[in-house]
Amino acid sequence: MSQATLFDTVGGQATFDEVVHRFYLRVREDDILGPMYPADDWEGAEARLRMFLTQYWGGPTDYSEQRGHPRLRMRHAHFHIDSKAAQRWLELMDAAIDDVDVEKLGEAQRAAMREHMQRVAYMLINAAG
């Protein structure tokens, strides 16, 4: 018998779609993170994060199939990511997670997602400030 993944326990793709979409609605308006994104690639950025999180938490492996190994540090190296940017990223992601109905995303799942997001955000810091 296989264990259910977080992807399965939170209702699958729809929950990840919602978190990522709500996150990017905030990023578009953010004075720190917004300028890091090309204005003509919002949909692409949203799709890549959605595929990455979906795969990480046990869903379909579209990210690896389309983009290969995540190599997060390499893919983010050209962005100026200081502690302020990492913290803002976490704040916006936390707000997006908070927006999801607790019936879909329980406290244990929220805590697991937040812990992962925090690890990744701080790992990607590549600049002082």
The fourth-level CATH superfamily of domain 7-123 is Globins (1.10.490.10)
pLDDT above 90: residue 4: no
pLDDT band of residue 2 (cuts 50, 70, 90) is low
pLDDT above 80: residue 129: no
Q: Which residues contact 52 (CB under 8 A, 6 or more apart)?
A: 63, 70
DSSP state of 127: S
pTM over cut 0.85: yes
> By mean pLDDT, which of 12-21, 27-36, 73-82, 96-105 is the weakest?
96-105
pLDDT above 80: residue 106: yes
What one-letter code names the amino acid at 59? G
Q: Residue 81: how many CB atoms within 10 A of its CB?
A: 22
